[in-house]
């Protein structure tokens, strides 16, 4: 049994949904179909989720938003007409939206969760209706009825263990189940959305819960590439990669998956295949627990911007018991998480996401570190990028770091920080954001310059 998830571009229009139906009909093992909200039909289009955010915010601010509501309904109406569906489904969708607008506005986070989730929920209803109209035995299933239980954290839901037991009942379904992505329900019955990449998270959870033989993630590219195609021209395709490699690359900015999306599949050893809705015959990229290794120790290179560094210097820091704990306690008091913490004997740097730092938080942190830890110097630098070189084969290969630093020297990129995880699956290089694209291109040339069009 396969679980197949279709992203926003795959369900953005009637034409795309017809492709989805053909893919589902072609393989009887595709039993559970997880769908996103309609995405962009072209580069200058607006995806339905953004229309819904505008609807929710307008209603919160003004108490009415008829124009914004009709913009959402119009998108679904265009799709329904293109699929030859009657007005019943559009009436259902409009009624659902109006009901959601009646939700308690004194809980704005939960209100917005409900409005945003309607994109996936109503698209699932529409797609199930279309499947039925062309003779497929299909049914829409709401996550609440499926038992997809999550924590009550608006916009940041975490799946609860009971959800997997509930979803296991779906494995032997005779019908095709169309399942909306992006949200689940708390034990109290409140709708709660997942963080970004939420439909991918849903697909992974459903695949794990049903112990699927394969989780297929359909998107608008033939495979995962070894580097961002917007930065590197015609990068090689990755044929096979491991869960750990995909998670590392996702963390560093790969747009195929949110870095947490595959964790449920990973924990249950469910193989994942990334495929193209517009070219389903392509083999795609298989993401598996273990893979064979060939000549190239590196599988991919990615860069993510938006980091800041808190630099701390104190003579004899290495001899002061508890210094690191006290430093991190100050960050914890401000509810900040950190990404890396490279250290020397008299200095240390804490690297964190820049968007966590407001001017007020930054001032408080610097003041507390200076006064409470009696340091010689402390300051914050911003606008850093983390370039990540990833590959399971790196730990058995000499000279990867030397090749990487030599490549960046050729590109005249100054390295501010080097950090290699204990698993040696990735090598992280901290550089200034303005150098990120050039660094990725030079590193790609170093590790993939003589490769063909595919890397194992």
Query: Could you give the 3-state DSSP secondary structure of residue 249?
Result: helix
- Conformational region of residue 424, where left means phi above 0, alpha means psi within -120 to 50, and beta covers everything else: left
Is residue 8 marked as binding?
A: yes
Residue 137 in this model has a pLDDT that exceeds 80: yes
Say how far apart CA 15 and CA 172 lie, in whole Å. 30
Say how far apart CA 4 and CA 24 lie, in whole Å. 8
Residues 6+ apart with CB under 8 A from 246: 224, 254, 256, 257, 262, 272, 287
Topology annotation, domain 2-220? Carbamate kinase (3.40.1160)
Is residue 155 marked as binding?
A: no
Strand 224-225 and strand 377-390: the pairing is: unpaired
Contact 327, 448 (CB under 8 A): no
Residue 11 in this model has a pLDDT that exceeds 60: yes
Q: Which of 72, 111, 76, 104 is nearest to 90 (CA)?
A: 76
pTM for the complete prediction?
0.84
Sheet holding 2-6, edge to edge: 138-140, 176-180, 30-35, 2-6, 214-219, 272-276, 285-288, 240-242
Share of the chain above pLDDT 90, in %: 69
Give me the DSSP letters along 176-245.
EEEEE-SEEE-TTS-EEE-SSSHHHHHHHHHHHHTT-SEEEEEESSSSEESS-TTTSSSPPEESEEEHHH
Is residue 358 marked as binding?
A: no
DSSP character for 135? T
Say how far apart CA 128 and CA 178 lie, in whole Å. 6
Say how far apart CA 87 and CA 104 lie, in whole Å. 29
Residue 222 in this model has a pLDDT that exceeds 90: no
Residue holding tokens 């998107």? 219
Region 1-25: mean pLDDT is: 96
Q: How far apart are the first and last CA of the chain?
A: 26
pLDDT tens digit string along 110-119? 999 999 999 9
Say how far apart CA 352 and CA 131 lie, in whole Å. 46
Residues 6+ apart with CB under 8 A from 41: 12, 13
Residues 6+ apart with CB under 8 A from 166: 146, 147, 148, 149, 209
Residue 168 in this model has a pLDDT that exceeds 70: yes
| Token digits of residue 225 | 């590439």
Q: Which of 146, 167, 130 is nearest to 21 (CA)?
A: 130
Q: How confident is the model at residue 454 (pLDDT cuts 50, 70, 90)?
A: low
Is residue 174 marked as binding?
A: no
pLDDT score, position 243: 85
pLDDT score, position 224: 86
pLDDT score, position 72: 96
Domain ranges of the chain: 2-220, 300-455
Residue holding tokens 């917007």? 230
Region 91-102: mean pLDDT is: 95
pLDDT score, position 158: 92
Residue 452 in this model has a pLDDT that exceeds 60: no
Q: How confident is the model at residue 261 (pLDDT cuts 50, 70, 90)?
A: confident
Q: Counting every residue, how long is the chain?
A: 456
| Token digits of residue 203 | 């697909």
Q: How confident is the model at residue 73 (pLDDT cuts 50, 70, 90)?
A: very high
Is residue 29 marked as binding?
A: no
Is residue 367 marked as binding?
A: no
Region 272-301: mean pLDDT is: 85
Share of the chain above pLDDT 70, in %: 95
Is residue 209 marked as binding?
A: no
Q: Which of 72, 166, 84 is nearest to 123 (CA)?
A: 72
Residue holding tokens 């109406």? 77
- Tell me what the pLDDT averaged over the chain comes to: 90
pLDDT tens digit string along 306-343? 999 999 999 999 999 999 999 999 999 999 999 888 88
Least confident of 18-32, 193-207, 241-255: 241-255
Say how far apart CA 438 and CA 442 lie, in whole Å. 6
Say how far apart CA 150 and CA 64 lie, in whole Å. 31
pLDDT score, position 259: 62
pLDDT score, position 40: 93
Residue 246 in this model has a pLDDT that exceeds 90: no
| Token digits of residue 104 | 């308690």
Residue 145 exposure: Cα atoms within 13 Å on the Cβ side: 10
Written in H, E and C, the secondary structure of 313-344 is ECCCHHHCCCHHHHHHHHHHHCCCCCCECCEC
The partner residues of 74 in beta bridges, in order of sequence, read none
- The pair phi, psi for residue 402, each rounded to 5°, is -65, -40
Is residue 399 marked as binding?
A: no
Say how far apart CA 414 and CA 436 lie, in whole Å. 11
pLDDT score, position 220: 85
Residue 242 in this model has a pLDDT that exceeds 90: no
Residue 451 in this model has a pLDDT that exceeds 60: no
CA 39 vs CA 3, 18, 201, 428: distances in Å: 21, 15, 17, 33
Region 23-42: mean pLDDT is: 95
Say how far apart CA 207 and CA 213 lie, in whole Å. 8
Residue 422 in this model has a pLDDT that exceeds 70: no
- Conformational region of residue 154, where left means phi above 0, alpha means psi within -120 to 50, and beta covers everything else: beta
Topology annotation, domain 300-455? VC0802-like (3.30.2130)
pLDDT score, position 33: 97
Q: 292 vs 344, which has greater pLDDT? A: 344
pLDDT tens digit string along 49-68? 999 999 999 999 998 999 99
Residue 80 in this model has a pLDDT that exceeds 90: yes
pLDDT score, position 51: 96
């Amino acid at each position: 049994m396969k679980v197949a998830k279709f992203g926003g571009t795959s369900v953005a229009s009637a034409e795309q949904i017809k492709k989805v139906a053909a893919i589902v009909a072609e393989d009887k093992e595709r039993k559970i179909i997880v769908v996103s909200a309609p995405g962009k039909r072209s580069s200058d289009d607006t995806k339905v989720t953004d229309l819904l955010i505008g609807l929710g915010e307008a209603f919160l601010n003004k108490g009415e938003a008829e124009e914004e509501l009709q913009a959402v309904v119009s998108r679904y109406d265009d799709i329904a007409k293109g699929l030859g569906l009657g007005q019943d489904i559009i009436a259902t969708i409009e009624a659902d939206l109006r009901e959601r607008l009646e939700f308690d506005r004194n809980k704005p986070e939960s209100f917005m969760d409900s409005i945003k989730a309607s994109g996936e929920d109503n698209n699932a209803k529409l797609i199930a209706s279309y499947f039925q109209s062309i003779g497929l035995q299909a049914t829409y299933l709401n996550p609440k009825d499926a038992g997809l239980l999550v924590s009550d954290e608006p916009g940041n839901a975490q799946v609860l263990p009971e959800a997997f037991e509930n979803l296991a009942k779906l494995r032997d379904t005779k019908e095709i189940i169309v399942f909306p992505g992006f949200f689940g329900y708390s034990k109290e019955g409140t709708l709660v959305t997942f963080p970004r990449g939420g439909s991918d998270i849903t697909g992974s959870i459903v695949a794990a819960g049903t112990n699927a033989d394969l989780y297929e993630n359909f998107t608008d590219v033939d495979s995962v590439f070894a580097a961002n195609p917007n930065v590197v021209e015609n990068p090689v395709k990755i044929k096979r990669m491991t869960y750990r490699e995909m998670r590392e690359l996702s963390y560093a900015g790969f747009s195929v998956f949110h870095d947490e999306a595959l964790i449920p599949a990973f924990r249950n050893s469910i193989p994942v295949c990334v495929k193209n809705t517009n070219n389903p015959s392509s083999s795609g990229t298989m993401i598996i627990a273990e893979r064979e290794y060939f000549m190239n120790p590196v599988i991919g290179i990615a860069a993510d911007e938006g980091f800041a560094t808190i630099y701390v210097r104190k003579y004899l820091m290495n001899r002061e018991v508890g210094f690191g704990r006290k430093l991190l306690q100050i960050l914890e008091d401000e509810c900040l998480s950190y990404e890396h913490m490279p250290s020397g004997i008299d200095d240390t740097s804490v690297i964190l996401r820049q968007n966590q730092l407001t001017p007020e938080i930054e001032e408080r942190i610097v003041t507390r570190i200076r006064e409470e830890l009696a340091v010689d110097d402390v300051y914050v630098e911003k606008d850093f990028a983390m370039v990540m070189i990833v590959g399971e084969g790196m730990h058995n290969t000499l000279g990867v770091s030397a090749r990487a630093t030599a490549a960046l020297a050729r590109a005249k990129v100054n390295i501010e920080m080097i950090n290699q995880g204990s698993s040696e699956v990735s090598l992280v290089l901290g550089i200034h954001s303005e150098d990120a694209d050039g660094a990725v291109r030079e590193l790609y040339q170093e590790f993939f310059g003589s490769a063909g069009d595919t890397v194992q």
